[in-house]
Amino acid sequence: MHVAADAEVGPARAPLSRDRVLRAAVRIADDGGLGALTMRRLAEDLGAEAMSLYYHVANKDEVLDGIADAVGREINEVVDALDVPSAGPQWKQAVRRRILAAREVLLRHPWVPAVFETRAAMSPEILRYHDRLLGLMRDGGFSYDLAHHALHALGSRALGFSQELFTPAAGGGGAGDGDELADLAERLPNLAGLLEHISHDDPGSTLGWCDDQEEFEFGLDLLLDGLDRLRERSSS
């Protein structure tokens, strides 16, 4: 069928390198999720044996650190090109735009939150990202204390994501009808009321149930507005 020539002619294969390994790792995670990222699969994609990887990276942990940093670099490239005025009251728009731009990068790499949650603190690129964010707040007149609190309050939202912990659609059980729905309304009266209200209000939204982007921005603005109020109060 196909001519399997690649393995036998030409310059055999581009030599491995730490950079090529990490680039392949990002691609695998993008395509198949974090579960697809194994040392053996990684080597296969590079046309090498799993053991060859260990010449370029110490272990899998270093691969995960590496791809976290790689996405951090991608984020910084995007947000550093933004150049929004940040003096005084403009800090809020500057921070908002920066965070939403970072979020757009994350949406291309849905596996990133899981990796960031365990090792983002170690990444030089993520540290750089937070440093610049802190700079915008300082431009806006934040004291170090308030800026420090602000970073903690934002948490992962500063990087553009929030765990979608609450997805009620999954809780109903799916298949259950009739009796089961009545039982649910009794056990979870408030959630049932919410569900009824939402599906009545906007039947089309039942599928996704919640507009994630809208909810993300609601929570972000709630925090930014609250921080802005504290900033004004402290600088008066």
Of 95, 99, 96, 82, nearest to 139 (Cα)? 95
Is residue 153 a contact residue for a second copy (CB under 8 A)?
A: yes
How remote is the C-alpha of 132 from its chain's centroid?
18
Among DNA, a second copy, none, what does residue 60 contact (CB within 5–8 Å per kind)?
DNA
Tokens linked to 88: 């005084």
In this chain, which of 56, 92, 103, 109 binds DNA, going by CB under 7 A?
56
Among 25, 29, 48, 147, binds DNA (CB under 7 A): 48
User: Tokens 């979608």 map to which residue?
Assistant: 164
From 1, 81, 187, 203, residue interacting with a second copy (rule: CB under 8 A): 187
Burial of 64 (0-12, 13-18, 19+ CB in 10 A): buried
Residue 166 touching DNA (CB under 7 A): no
In the complex, the smallest distance separating the C-beta of residue 220 from a second copy, rounded to whole angstroms, is 9
Q: How far is the CB of 138 from DNA (least distance, A)?
A: 40
Structure tokens of 28?
Answer: 């695998």
- Quick check: 96 binds a second copy (CB under 8 A)? no
The count of residues interacting with DNA (CB under 7 A) is 19
User: Is residue 219 at the binding interface for a second copy, with CB under 8 A as the rule?
Assistant: yes
Residue 169 is encoded by which pair of tokens?
């659609």
Residues 12-41 that bind DNA (CB under 7 A): 15-16, 37-41
Residue 24 or 227 with smaller CB distance to a second copy: 227
Q: Closest approach of Cβ 192 to DNA, in Å?
A: 33
Does position 37 interact with a second copy (CB under 8 A)? The reply is no
CB 127 within 8 A of CB 76: no
Q: What does each C-alpha distance from 70 to 93, 126, 127 come to in angstroms?
A: 26, 10, 13
Structure tokens at 71: 């996405």
Q: Quick one: how far is CA 28 from the chain centroid?
A: 17
Query: Could you tell me which of 1, 9, 49 has the C-alpha nearest to residue 21?
Result: 49
In degrees, rounded to 5, the angle at the alpha carbon of residue 62 between the alpha carbons of residues 57 and 63 is 80
Residue 143: phi and psi, rounded to 5, are -70, 160
Site for a second copy in 106-125 (CB under 8 A): 114, 116-117, 120-124
Contact positions toward DNA, by CB under 7 A? Answer: 15-16, 37-41, 43, 48-52, 54-56, 59-61
- Point out which residues bind a second copy (CB under 8 A): 114, 116-117, 120-124, 127-128, 130-132, 134-135, 138, 144-145, 147-149, 151-156, 158-159, 162-168, 170-171, 187-191, 193-194, 197-198, 201, 210, 215, 218-219, 222-223, 225-227
